[in-house]
Structure 1
């Protein structure tokens, strides 16, 4: 019998891509999400009953029969680590033997980027379960780099002259698919990055090139960054996450360039320029 792979977040940007790739390769999958109605229709895929990470009983039922699990991290929230713990416990109870967890570059208990700390705590918990595991520590998404520029054409943040090795969703999905389908990845953590690390001035220059308007990078202090985001009405923990992502760039925590994408997929990692050429919607908010 073909082992079943559970794919969480299967209606999302990463989980959906991985689910489609596994289906194309003839793998048996169990698609997991909050709303089964949003899950894709794929050959060889079974849609699990709706389940959120924080609902242990529902997650256990959703994962029943799966041997492996792609665990796409939950949306940022103050309780995200506990949600992850509940989902991992459900996986253990359901008999899952292996977890491939989508983590973050530079995950550490004292990471400048506060959300990266969540990933470290989740990794540590998974390590303690006795399950086989692989961690995919992704850099910032290339789509996120494009979104850093506001409609006024300015990227604002306390990133200094630091660099970020942004990565495409497609490359992450290709790596995850390879890891899920192959042996030899247990107990490893892979940095998943783009081919180069860019300053935010470089990001602005690329956006200027494709939009035909001047896009600029304005370095801020931490205080200025909080002030410029005060009008969004977001909670303090969320604003802190936004601001600290720039601070992590300044600290060099996102500058790592790894060969994981070409080594595991056989193709080069997508550059920011290539991403923008293929995804004009990513910078639509900057167009007249």
Structure 2
């Protein structure tokens, strides 16, 4: 059921082509798959997608937008953001619906450290879609569960030791499949216009708790090692990461360490009429795919 008590129709409302920017990424490829399952004409765009799209090469934008009715925007996380210019071009090309992947905490000063006190590129993107004149929906997910299976935590889990500056903090990790489901709904159904969906999982867990869930389905338990921020940042630099990027990654861990990511939100139930997927569901499916073998 929807929040208004009416059942959403199974038939998508969007009848034209949907463009998915970042169509080969964590949420993008899942959104592409879900839209195609619904029978929606879907264009996957990225530097290696069906259609070439490069945020840093504006000459690639127009071909991706030609004939498109709706767009799922996975933005480039740089400042100044190219999203406002893309939104302007998309609307000029006839796009009528925009769904933006933003981030939890973009409107909270200091959430990701001082570098994002002004909201950073995500807030620039939000401002652009809100003022675009097109129907818009904004998704604000927290930390992805998939960071343990195809992201920054994967190597540590596989190696048997995950070392992070997150202390005893907790997070309501959200499944990227839920993000994709909300994106597909917002792209194809009525009732999502003007909504900001804060997306989380159904419960808050510490890093140790997530490793416990993974161990239940793999039989192998990675150890969690708590690092000081300075040691974590130095380790990234020693691996070849530039100082500035290492500082940003370290700051990004702050919402977990401080348990700001622990709040369970209502975005998934409001958008889909069902609870979000649990971390145990994520771990079971990821193990079945052999990601930790």
TM-score, scaled relative to structure 2: 0.81
Is 1:188 paired with 2:191? no
- How far apart are the structure 1 equivalents of 2:133 and 2:111? 25
Q: Is the 8 A contact 1:30 1:63 kept in 2?
A: no
Please list the CA deviations of residues 59-101 of structure 1 after superposition, one character each: whole Å capped at 9, or x if unmatched.
1232122222111223x4xx45433233223213312222100
Is 1:122 paired with 2:152? no
- How far apart are the structure 2 equivalents of 1:19 and 1:87? 20
Shift of 1:130: 3.1
- Cα 1:275/1:186, change in 2 over 3 Å: same
- How far apart are the structure 1 equivalents of 2:205 and 2:198? 16
1:148 aligned partner: 153
1:107 aligned partner: 106
1:25 aligned partner: 38
Shift of 1:53: 2.1
Shift of 1:202: 1.2
- How far apart are the structure 1 equivalents of 2:159 and 2:206? 19
Q: Size of the alignment, in residue pairs?
A: 272
Is 1:70 paired with 2:79? no
Is 1:14 paired with 2:27? yes
Q: Is the 8 A contact 2:112 2:251 kept in 1?
A: yes
- How far apart are the structure 1 equivalents of 2:17 and 2:291? 39
Report SS of the residue matched to 2:98: strand
- How far apart are the structure 2 equivalents of 1:26 and 1:205? 38
- Cα 1:260/1:34, change in 2 over 3 Å: same
Gaps of 5+ in 2: 1-13
1:228 aligned partner: 235
Please list the CA deviations of residues 231-258 of structure 1 after superposition, one character each: whole Å capped at 9, or x if unmatched.
2101123212321222121233322212
Q: Is the 8 A contact 1:155 1:204 kept in 2?
A: no
- How far apart are the structure 1 equivalents of 2:243 and 2:172? 27
2:10 aligned partner: none
Report SS of the residue matched to 1:135: strand
TM-score, scaled relative to structure 1: 0.82
Q: Is the 8 A contact 2:21 2:73 kept in 1?
A: yes
2:141 aligned partner: 138
Deviates more, 1:261-270 or 1:13-22: 261-270
Q: Is the 8 A contact 1:112 1:247 kept in 2?
A: yes
2:6 aligned partner: none
Is 1:84 paired with 2:83? yes
CA RMSD, 1 decimal: 2.6
- How far apart are the structure 1 equivalents of 2:281 and 2:177? 12
Shift of 1:281: 7.1
Q: Is the 8 A contact 2:168 2:257 kept in 1?
A: yes
Report SS of the residue matched to 1:14: helix
- How far apart are the structure 2 equivalents of 1:211 and 1:233? 31
- How far apart are the structure 1 equivalents of 2:33 and 2:127? 29
Shift of 1:152: 4.3
Deviates more, 1:60-69 or 1:114-123: 114-123
Gaps of 5+ in 1: 40-47
